[in-house]
Structure 1
Amino acid sequence: MTQLPITLSRCAISTNVEVDSERAIKVVPKSHDEALNDKQLVDYKDHRVRFLSWLLKVGKIPEKAEGYSPYTVYSTAYRTARFDLWLWEQKGGYKYPPDSDDGAAYMDYLAFSDKSQTSKGKAQEGLQHFSKWLQHTQGRDEWEFEYSFDGSGGNHQPEDYLTREERRDIRQAALNEGNIPAYDTLTANERRGWKLYISNALGKDYEEVTRDDWDRVDGWEITSLVWTSLDAGLRPNEVRNARIEWVDTKNGVLRIPKDESSKNEGNWTVSLTDRTATALSRWLEEREQYKRYEDADTLWLTSHGNPYSSSSLRRLLHRLCNQAGIETANRKMSWYTIRHSVGTYMTKERDLAATKAQLRHKSVQTSMKYDAVPIEDRRDALNKMG
């Protein structure tokens, strides 16, 4: 059993941080020694020393170099070590550090385990501490989960969702997003490509397209991304992994193959509205004009040519909410907020089976967290009750 030193030394593991008279923070539990070979053990120990030391010294408020209490770090060390061992068993071998998809898979596992709600909540808190370390030291995105567990013993549930009115407002705000490149920013060769696109978009002959027509055509990239997410409830990693071959605008569906689906359980066919299918069709035509998509089959990239992350999607949602006049204070508004709204209203309008298919859940039990009466329906009931 390896225990945590006060210093960040990676060589000598000798000085313990005492939580109380009987406990010290464990860097590598003895059970993990048997799961790792010598090289993996050295690598794992190195990461764990840096992670747990960071929590102790600055983890609570990094900007003020204020760390968590030794007791909190003791608990986090124990819970994250259990997660690590579970992950290696699932992956068939050592992996470190884990990523957000691994954390989400663990939360799915815990959701339907026999563990208490308090235990589930504490495990999630441990992963949030780990995510915080990766975010501040390695520039990783903050981990987001589809639902939250109450560590004090409450039930797990979606953290927030958009109301019907908010969904309409977000859809409208997304329609107002996006521009094609300005005429003056393009080379002569690029203008020829955009001129052809504009002629098709406006239904004008190529030779009749003028410089002024550049101002009459808007971009469809953000609109298609947001509208597809409003229909399909795309997870952040599904936005990141989306490929052009997923899109079937003729039949109005996304076809997500097994090897690229978030949960990797099977092929998924996800319904889209006619509006979204049109937006995707227009985007696929427009997409061919951008250099950042050359030799790439990624459906959406940021303006810098990078895949979308949880953080960039959260910023996009907040920007849309601001434009739509949707209050975000005291709400956890992440990209999952859109997904939660799909689950909530699909369950209300159809049934859990429809929600399971649309949101690509492995089990209908996962869909059951959306089996609740939306807040506006409850408000209507109260008004009728007098």
Structure 2
Amino acid sequence: MNDADEATDPLDGITVLTEPTADLLNERQQIDFRTTRENCLQWLLAFGKHPKKADGYAASTVKTRAHRMDQFYRWVWQNETNGYTTDVTHDHADAWLKQIAMTDHSVAHKSNCRKALLMLFRWREHEHGLDEWTPEFSFSTGSRTATPRDFLTRAERTKIREAALEAGSVPNYKSLSPEARDRWKAHLAQRFGKPKAEVTPADWDRANGWKIPSLVATGLDAGLRPIEVERASPRWVDVDNSALRIPKAESSKNEGHWVVSLQDETAAMLDRWLAQRATNPKYDDSDHLWLTREGNPYGSSALRTVLRRLCDTADIDYEHRQMSWYAVRHSTGTYMTREEDLAAAQTQLRHTSEQTTMKYDQVPLEDRQSALERM
């Protein structure tokens, strides 16, 4: 490469493959990672700020953030995947950000780590088709603690639970006229991917199943993280005691066994779902409590889709809100703290540190509105 080529290299001055990263990778992995990094950094320089306008970030910004992205990848390999991968996920990002939140680093450092991840996942969104990442935390320069994103109000929690009971339901088979029944058979044939002639009354029961109601109700009660929804197993469900019993080996942090309280109504939904699940061939070789229609475990993207569809059904506006699945978890933490105390919320949300739970020690919007009315 001659001097002219070096002068026009967009990555000049930006370290693509750092020594700590090279030390962790073999030669082929180094080549693969270098290619991934170059593609990402070049995209950020050219398109990162406003992709449609081809407006990129300044080289100085990319240089600083590239260093933190590199740290993130190494952390994933050493703590999440037990080895090299470039397929970093939203759950990896959330986990790293939580770990960063509990360190003694400055708030500015934590905020910059968050911004670096936002840049990385914006590239993955545009170039790899990944869904938009909504961080669980934001960091304020006026505080050393992390603050939760939007959460569902008490009224919205009720609406979401009720909308889940309505989701995907169809009229009672026996109540339909022959003409209406024929139309619904065509709908169910398309929904379940089978010929219309093979649709039976059992498909009506399947359409009115308890998968989504049980998933949503359990998520609302237990404040399940997306990774916990994905890992959830029928073995966790204790219907008799209205609880989830999460073994240490399957908990999100692998740091302890957890017994999580459920409402009796939620336990009843899970009991009905387990009975239906046992008759569904999709689950014959699966230990997952819930699977999508395509037979995959629920991840952050699928859960976000479920929640937003329920918001649409419940007429809950989320245009200017961070309506990810974590809105469910945040609402559980906020109201558990309000109704009981931080210790109860810490146990219910499966936090190993009370400092993590403290971010839920806030007054909900409707309580502040009531206070204003009384003033």
Output the TM-score relative to the length of structure 1. Answer: 0.81
Amino acid paired to 1:337: A
Secondary structure of the 1:302 match is coil
- The question of 1:67 aligning with 2:39 is answered no
**Which residue of structure 2 aligns with residue 302 of structure 1?**
292
Q: 2:331, 2:117 → 1: CA distance?
A: 25
1:36-62 CA-partner distances (Å, limit 9, x unpaired): 443432232222112212222333344
Q: 2:81, 2:267 → 1: CA distance?
A: 40
- Residue 369 to residue 31, structure 1, CA distance change in 2 (3 Å): same
- The question of 1:346 aligning with 2:340 is answered no
**Which residue of structure 1 aligns with residue 365 of structure 2?**
375
User: Quick check: 2:277–2:283 contact (8 Å CA) kept in 1?
Assistant: yes
1:146-175 CA-partner distances (Å, limit 9, x unpaired): 322247978530011111111111111111
Structure 2 spans left out of the alignment, 5+ residues: 174-183
**Which residue of structure 2 aligns with residue 218 of structure 1?**
208
**Counting helix residues as a fraction of each chain, which structure ranks higher?**
2
Secondary structure of the 1:307 match is coil
Deviation, 1:32, is 3.3
Greater displacement, 278-287 / 151-160: 151-160
1:329-358 CA-partner distances (Å, limit 9, x unpaired): 211111000100000010111111111111
Q: 2:46, 2:98 → 1: CA distance?
A: 31
**Which residue of structure 1 aligns with residue 303 of structure 2?**
313
User: Quick check: 1:16–1:25 contact (8 Å CA) kept in 2?
Assistant: no
**Which residue of structure 2 aligns with residue 208 of structure 1?**
none
Q: Map of 1:146-165 to 2, 5 A cutoff?
A: 146-150=136-140, 156-165=146-155
- Residue 152 to residue 122, structure 1, CA distance change in 2 (3 Å): farther
User: Quick check: 1:287–1:293 contact (8 Å CA) kept in 2?
Assistant: yes
- The question of 1:44 aligning with 2:44 is answered no
Q: Map of 1:213-362 to 2, 5 A cutoff?
A: 214=204, 218-362=208-352
- Residue 325 to residue 190, structure 1, CA distance change in 2 (3 Å): closer
RMSD of aligned Cα (Å): 3.0
Q: State the identity as a percent.
A: 46
Q: 1:294, 1:34 → 2: CA distance?
A: 43
Deviation, 1:113, is 1.4
Q: 1:190, 1:291 → 2: CA distance?
A: 16
Deviation, 1:142, is 3.9
Q: 1:40, 1:33 → 2: CA distance?
A: 9
1:123-153 CA-partner distances (Å, limit 9, x unpaired): 0111122122223333334444332224797
Deviation, 1:88, is 4.6
Q: 1:84, 1:368 → 2: CA distance?
A: 28
- Residue 64 to residue 112, structure 1, CA distance change in 2 (3 Å): same
- The question of 1:80 aligning with 2:69 is answered yes
User: Quick check: 1:161–1:337 contact (8 Å CA) kept in 2?
Assistant: yes
Q: 1:240, 1:309 → 2: CA distance?
A: 6
Structure 1 spans left out of the alignment, 5+ residues: 1-5, 8-12, 196-213
Deviation, 1:293, is 2.0
Q: 1:92, 1:269 → 2: CA distance?
A: 26
- The question of 1:366 aligning with 2:356 is answered yes
Output the TM-score relative to the length of structure 2. Answer: 0.83
- The question of 1:56 aligning with 2:49 is answered no
1:216-241 CA-partner distances (Å, limit 9, x unpaired): 98221111111110001111121111
